[in-house]
Amino acid sequence: MYQRILVANRGEIALRIIRACKELGVETVAIFSEGDRGARYLDLADEAYCVGPAKASDSYLKIANVISAAEVGNVQAIHPGYGFLAENAHFNEICRSCKIDFIGPSPEAMARLGDKNAARELARETNVPVVPGSDGIISTEEEALRFAHDVGFPVLIKAVAGGGGRGMRVASNDLALKSALQQARAEAEAAFGNGDVYLEKYIEHPRHVEVQVLADNHGNVVHLWERDCSVQRRHQKLIEESPSTSISPETRSAMCDAARRLIQTANYTNAATVEFIVDKTGNFYFIEVNARIQVEHPVTEMVTGIDLIKSQIRVAAGERLPWSQTDIPQRGAAIECRINAENPRRNFQPSPGKIEQLIAPGGFGVRFDSHAHSGYVVPPYYDSMIGKLIVHQATRADAIAAMQRALSELHVAGIETTVPIHQEILSHSAFVEGRIDTTFVERTLLAE
Ligand code: MV4
């Protein structure tokens, strides 16, 4: 096991990783920007170094600064968390050349799955269902039209380098397709420096279901069941849960096994999430792989009883996964609400500033992962998530009731939060009955 690792992140996930390290007996080196100086979670690390000004591109994203902190701190490994440098294959490679373990997949596996088109090809070769799509990159208008006429409108244009919904365009007829193709190319070129696009049949009102996978360096790969993340707004997830209400037991085993096979075939190690969309009739299609730990990982931890962060660190240090697939249960129901410093009544406008008072909920099956506290000042420079409220109960109905109770206990004074929108969603009949797709929030709630 490592003696000392660097936590290359901030906020709740930095705190989550520091906590896991303490339990493993591993020392931690934290980093912070000027915007996070004095944050209390930093006191829990053994050392903390400033890596630059508040702006992320000048600090948490500055590879030279992060590597310098790792060298000065004399660490054996770096945990990147999510966001920032977590899926940067170049950073991953630099860690390797500095002889520092990157707690995640190899740079090769990361790059292979980071290319959406290559990942699709790999899925196809592994007999993992993919949405009917173009064979690779679309280079001419004629190719695009031919594909659309083959599979039928509507079609979706996606950027090879895209992700998280950026650089996507829907087209419903020839004329729209021609202009959308040009727009998507220009947008992808500007956003990712790569204008390559491909086409897929557009699945309407999809549900978003993803599978957690863990792989060690000895060829063992297991899945840890699914999370349903259909409650989202503009590609920002609001609520995640496990099990999903939108798949049958047969679909669940087929999907989870497909995810496991894909990760195995890719020679991928450490934690991965395999994203699928599910259509109205229960067909599932591979979308992309996230080569990192995800925000919503606690939902999986609650139903499986497995600490994913500790597992990541152990696997990176060369340990074998201690379970076979049949040892991994999906017990009860877990729900997570993301608590953001945003005003849901004002179009989710960020609401940074001083938290005058914070009272965290507790009780049976309630977990609050947060770096915030009374007197904490939410900086305006980063994403607005200040915590995650997670509940775990025997049934989904009990989990909904527990979440409502916990949300009513959570008291955040001084800033606006997403608590009211969560209360609204949890009491909505469509959510209670599990009738939710990715258009639910925009269709039902914000329209009123
Ligand atoms: C799709 C789709 C419908 N049809 N692909 C959005 C983010 C990216 N990961 C994939 N996404 C989608 N791909 C086809 N062929 C609909 C979405 C989509 C979506 C997917 C997951 C979660 C939320 C979403 C919200 C809108 C659209």
Q: Is there an atom of ligand 1 within 6 Å of 365 CB?
A: no
Measured in Å, residue 339 CA sits from the centre of ligand 1 at 23
Q: Of ligand 1's atoms, which has the minimum distance to the CA of residue 203?
A: 4
Residue with the smallest CA separation from ligand 1 atom 26 is 438
Nearest-CA residue for ligand 1 atom 25 is 438
The answer to whether residues 127 and 173 touch, using CB atoms and an 8 Å cutoff, is no
pLDDT score of 448: 46
d(CA 401, CA 431): 13
The side-by-side arrangement of strands in the sheet containing 77-79 is 47-50, 27-32, 4-7, 77-79, 101-102
Q: What is the pLDDT of residues 39-75, one digit of tens each?
A: 999 999 999 999 999 999 999 999 999 999 999 999 9
Pocket test for ligand 1, best of 120, 438, 441, 442 (most atoms within 8 A of CB): 438
User: By alpha-carbon position, which residue is closest to atom 13 of ligand 1?
Assistant: 287
Give 277 Cα–ligand 1 centroid separation in angstroms: 7
Task: Dig out the tokens for 127 from the structure.
Answer: 């007999």
Using the mean position of ligand 1's atoms as its centre, give its distance from the Cα of residue 205 in Å.
9
Q: Which structure tokens are listed for 210?
A: 């993803």
Looking at every residue in the chain, the average pLDDT score rounds to 96
Cβ(288) – ligand 1 distance below 6 Å: yes
CATH number of 4-103: 3.40.50.20
CATH superfamily of domain region 207-443: ATP-grasp fold, B domain (3.30.470.20)
The C-alpha atoms of residue 97 and residue 171 are separated, in whole angstroms, by 45
Per the CB < 8 A criterion, the answer to whether 287 and 280 are in contact is no
Token pair 């609401």 is at which residue?
Answer: 351
CA of 165 to the centre of ligand 1 (A): 6
pLDDT in tens, 80-99: 999 999 999 999 999 999 99
From residue 434, alpha-carbon distances to 155, 299, 325, 425 in Å are 27, 17, 27, 11
Q: Active site includes 292?
A: yes
DSSP state at residue 381: T
Tell me, which fold does domain 132-201 have in CATH?
A: Dna Ligase; domain 1 (3.30.1490)
Assess whether the C-beta atom of 131 lies below 6 angstroms from ligand 1: yes
CA dihedral sign, ordered 72, 73, 78, 80: negative
Q: Is the CB of 42 under 6 A from ligand 1?
A: no
Q: What is the pLDDT at residue 56?
A: 98
Cα(414)–Cα(370) distance, integer angstroms: 17
Residue 25 CA to ligand 1 center (angstroms) comes to: 41
User: With a 6 A CB cut-off, is 232 part of the ligand 1 pocket?
Assistant: yes
Query: Alpha carbon 312 to chain centroid distance?
Result: 15
146 contact partners, CB below 8 Å, separation of at least 6: none
Stretch 347-375: mean pLDDT: 98
Residue with CA closest to ligand 1 atom 24: 438
115, pLDDT greater than 90: no
pLDDT computed for residue 446 by the predictor: 62
Catalytic residue among 112, 292, 338, 396: 292
Choose one of 208, 234, 278 to mutate for the ligand 1 pocket test, by most ligand atoms within 8 angstroms of C-beta: 208
Tell which phi-psi region holds residue 22, choosing left (phi > 0), alpha (psi between -120 and 50) or beta: alpha
List the beta bridge partners of residue 387: 339
Reported as a single tens digit per residue, the pLDDT across 213-229 is: 999 999 999 999 999 99
**C-beta of 202 in contact with ligand 1 (< 6 A):** yes
Residue 131 CA: nearest ligand 1 atom is 15
Q: Indicate the pLDDT class of residue 169, thresholds 50, 70 and 90.
A: very high
- The Cα–Cα gap between 100 and 248 comes to 43
Mean pLDDT of 264-277: 97
Ordered by start, the domain boundaries in the chain are 4-103, 132-201, 207-443
For 141-168, write each residue's pLDDT tens digit.
999 999 999 999 999 999 888 766 777 8
pLDDT number for residue 21: 98
pLDDT band, very low/low/confident/very high, at 384 (cuts 50, 70, 90): very high
Share of residues in the chain with pLDDT > 70 (%): 99
232 pLDDT above the threshold of 50 = yes
Residue 287 CB–ligand 1 contact under 6 Å: yes
Using a pLDDT cut of 90, give the percent of the chain over it: 92
Cβ burial, residue 54 (10 Å; 0-12/13-18/19+): middle
Rounded to whole angstroms, how far apart are CA atoms 383 and 180? 30
Alpha helices in 266-346 (DSSP H): 297-304, 308-316
Please give the Cα distance from 447 to 317 (Å, whole number): 50
DSSP 17-55: HHHHHHHHT-EEEEEE-GGGTT-GGGGGSSEEEE-SSSS
Q: How far is the CA of 380 from the centre of ligand 1 (A)?
A: 29
pLDDT at 447 over 60: no
Which helix or strand (DSSP H or E) is residue 66 part of? helix 63-73
444 pLDDT band, cuts 50/70/90, is: confident
How is 192-244 classified by DSSP, letter by letter? HS---EEEEEPPSS-EEEEEEEEE-TTS-EEEEEEEEEEEEETTEEEEEEES-
- Binding site membership of 156 for ligand 1 (Cβ less than 6 Å): yes
- From the CA of 66, how far away is ligand 1's center (Å)? 33
